[in-house]
Amino acid sequence: MLKSGTILTGMGVGLSSIAAEVFRVKRAASLPKAAKHSGDEKREIASLKTAVSAVSAEMNALAEKAGETSAEIFEALILLLEDEELFETASAQIAQGWNASTAYINAVEEYAEIFEGDATFQERLNDIRDLAKRVAASIAGISLGLDIPTTGRFVIVGEDFSPADTAQFTDAVVGVVTIQGGPTSHTAIICRSKSIPAVVSCQQAKDLVDGMQILVDPVGDRVVVDGQKSDITQALSFVAKSLNPIIPVRANIGSLEDAIAASASASEGVGLFRTELLYLSAKSQPTKQDQADSYAEILKAAPAGPIVVRTIDAGSDKPVPFLDMGHEENPALGVRGYRLIENYRDFIVDQLESLEIAREQSGREVWVMAPMIATYSEAVEFATLARKAGKFKVGIMVETPSIVYQISQLADVLDFISVGTNDLSQYLFAADRMNPALGSMLNPWQPALLRALEQIAIVSQEAGISSGVCGESASDPAFAVVLAGMGFQSVSSSRSQVGIVRQALSSVTKQQATEVFQAALTGLDADQSKSAALAALAAISAK
């Protein structure tokens, strides 16, 4: 039994909180076990066909009830359900003697094997399995309804909810907690669109039972047993106390459209211009002139201030059509980013030379940096190439733990470094970024990451190298304050976050930012670090 006040952590969806009674969903009936048919293949195929149409009609009805956001989801599900290939695979199972429902489930599992382990398809796989269960239930003549109360106020707690489940949510559903599922699960998408407070991926929720009172607190990424309104985590509001932020806030861009949109924001230049998007759709290597033209157009459109351009960051997981990168078992640990120099030196030199032409044409201040630098030698090699190619400030991305230990030796080589926190986390924690099960290790508030970042800020300063952060964490206003407190000299955020990050960095002094960072350092885990930093920020804004 969970004690009053117990905190269960997950991932919050939405900004409002709700306190209500727990309702654990139970499936109405269990499905019959796998079985063979009595020998009449034709009858089994006919009964499968009828069941598929019945479930398809059921989905159509749910789609109408669910409204705009979900209609497309149901349309995609119906197409999967009525997939001819799937039906043929099921027919082959019937020919082997399995009855209609077992055959359909087996057919789905044949496809499941192909998709297993592929994070992108994991959520779809769950949807298809749910459909198979519905087909089996229809054949057996049982209901798979959720049996959700229609009156009262309840927080619905379950493993995860399929689109067909969420369509059955009644007005009595005022909150949702799921044990599985991530921020991109259907449950999360539906709750966001219906403004139902939810916490997903909350493993400890398995201990919640009917009748318990809980507070669903998405802003705090948590559920509190017996929680009250006063336990609600307040969404931070930042009141700018000065005109300028304590460190410049730049924008991340990848295309001309981004550059134009960023100019409309308050960003001071560009802190990360991802160049690979320009090459993704090219079938052959663009000429130097073509590249220079595209770059010049973007440089001219970019917001005033320096523009930090990252040379191509491709690999076998991010392939570029005209660079043959082959297949790798571990693309994140393979030949990617600057490591392409081995086989594609000419391409990287071309890129730098095109940028120099564009720099002259546009008259802008251009900084260039290389991604995935792991050694001193790579940094020196890139700096030499870049300085030979043009009048740039030259830097590197800090993403590998190894280069952190050599920053101090690069004092006379580099003008700046920029930290990519997502990749740095992935390599520091040996946790695949693409694996949703490891999400908590990639939380930027992890104490080990905070300490690694602090070390980077300190050694860069000692070496006289300007330091910035362009990873996703720099788009979180509270985290941006922590980064400034560590000593970083700029941050680069996603376009839509520039305004709020600027506001946060204008609401504190340098000294206060350091205090917020010191508070974050007291945490023993990511949640504690974050809460301590937010508490320190709240105390400052209350002054």
Active site residues: 186, 470
Q: Which of residues 138-197 bind other proteins (CB under 8 A)?
A: none
Q: Which of residues 273-292 bind other proteins (CB under 8 A)?
A: 280-281, 283
Give the pair of three-digit tokens for residue 473.
Answer: 């964490």
Q: Residues 456, 396: contact at Cβ < 8 Å?
A: no
Question: Quick one: 85 or 329, whose CB is closer to other proteins?
Answer: 85
Q: Minimum Å distance from CB 78 to other proteins? A: 9
- Cα 117 to its chain centre, rounded Å, is 18
Work out whether 80 is an interface residue with other proteins (CB under 8 A).
yes
Q: Residues 497, 477: contact at Cβ < 8 Å?
A: yes
Q: Looking at this protein, which amino acid is placed at residue 15?
A: L
Question: Quick one: 174 or 314, whose CB is closer to other proteins?
Answer: 314
Strand segments, DSSP code E, in 341-437 are 366-370, 393-398, 416-419
Q: What are the Cα distances from residue 394, in Å, to 143, 361, 420?
A: 65, 19, 16
Q: Residues 200, 185: contact at Cβ < 8 Å?
A: yes
Question: Quick one: 317 or 527, whose CB is closer to other proteins?
Answer: 317
Q: Minimum Å distance from CB 83 to other proteins? A: 5
Question: What track of x and - describes contact with other proteins for positions 92 through 121 (by CB under 8 A)?
Answer: -------------------x--xx--x-xx
Question: Quick one: 76 or 333, whose CB is closer to other proteins?
Answer: 76
Instruction: With contacts defined by CB under 8 A, name the span among 72-80, 161-169, 173-181, 351-359 that binds other proteins.
Output: 72-80
Instruction: With contacts defined by CB under 8 A, name the span among 77-85, 130-138, 209-217, 510-518 that binds other proteins.
Output: 77-85
Distance CA 396, CA 156 (A): 48
Question: What track of x and - describes contact with other proteins for positions 226 through 265 (by CB under 8 A)?
Answer: ----------------------------------------
Q: Minimum Å distance from CB 321 to other proteins? A: 6
Q: Minimum Å distance from CB 488 to other proteins? A: 28
Q: Which of residues 302-361 bind other proteins (CB under 8 A)?
A: 317-321
Question: Quick one: 254 or 499, whose CB is closer to other proteins?
Answer: 254
Question: Quick one: 29 or 434, whose CB is closer to other proteins?
Answer: 434
Residues in the chain, overall count: 543
Work out whether 83 is an interface residue with other proteins (CB under 8 A).
yes
Which contiguous run of DSSP H or E holds residue 80? helix 68-81
Helices (H), 141-181: 163-166
Helix (H, G, I), strand (E, B) or coil at 498: helix
The burial of 141, by beta-carbon neighbours within 10 Å (0-12 exposed, 13-18 middle, 19 or more buried), is given as: exposed
**Which one among 27, 37, 124, 153 touches other proteins, defined by CB under 8 A?**
124
Q: Which of residues 389-448 bind other proteins (CB under 8 A)?
A: none
Q: Minimum Å distance from CB 76 to other proteins? A: 4
Rg (CA), the chain: 27
Q: Minimum Å distance from CB 118 to other proteins? A: 6
Quickly tell me which residue has 């607190």 as its tokens: 217
Q: What is the CA angle 498-501-503, rounded to 5?
A: 105
Nearest to 301 by CA among 392, 362, 353: 362
Q: Minimum Å distance from CB 503 to other proteins? A: 28
**Which one among 75, 147, 159, 290 touches other proteins, defined by CB under 8 A?**
75
Question: Quick one: 280 or 411, whose CB is closer to other proteins?
Answer: 280
**Which one among 29, 34, 61, 79 touches other proteins, defined by CB under 8 A?**
79
Question: Quick one: 75 or 290, whose CB is closer to other proteins?
Answer: 75
**Which one among 68, 84, 329, 342 touches other proteins, defined by CB under 8 A?**
84
Burial readout 332-356 (b: 16 or more C-beta within 10 A, e: otherwise): beebbbbbbbeebeebbbbbbbbbb
Instruction: With contacts defined by CB under 8 A, name the span among 84-92, 174-182, 196-204, 408-416 that binds other proteins.
Output: 84-92
Instruction: With contacts defined by CB under 8 A, name the span among 73-81, 158-166, 186-194, 382-390 that binds other proteins.
Output: 73-81
Q: What are the Cα distances from residue 199, in Å, to 221, 428, 475, 495?
A: 7, 27, 22, 27
Q: Minimum Å distance from CB 201 to other proteins? A: 19
- For 317-350, what is the HEC assignment? CECCCCCCCCCCCCHHHCCCHHHHHHHHHHHHHH
Work out whether 212 is an interface residue with other proteins (CB under 8 A).
no
Burial readout 487-519 (b: 16 or more C-beta within 10 A, e: otherwise): bbbbbbbbbebbebbbbbbbbbeeebbbbbbeb
Question: Quick one: 128 or 232, whose CB is closer to other proteins?
Answer: 128
Nearest to 175 by CA among 126, 130, 224, 127: 224
Q: Helix count (H) and strand count (E) of the chain?
A: 19, 16
Distance CA 421, CA 10 (A): 21
Instruction: With contacts defined by CB under 8 A, name the span among 75-83, 460-468, 489-497, 528-536 that binds other proteins.
Output: 75-83
Distance CA 285, CA 112 (A): 37
Q: Minimum Å distance from CB 462 to other proteins? A: 38
Question: Quick one: 97 or 319, whose CB is closer to other proteins?
Answer: 319
Q: How many residues bind other proteins (CB under 8 A)?
A: 25
Distance CA 400, CA 423 (A): 7
Q: Minimum Å distance from CB 203 to other proteins? A: 25
For binding to other proteins (CB under 8 A), which residues are involved?
A: 72, 75-76, 79-80, 83-86, 111, 114-115, 118, 120-121, 124, 128, 280-281, 283, 317-321
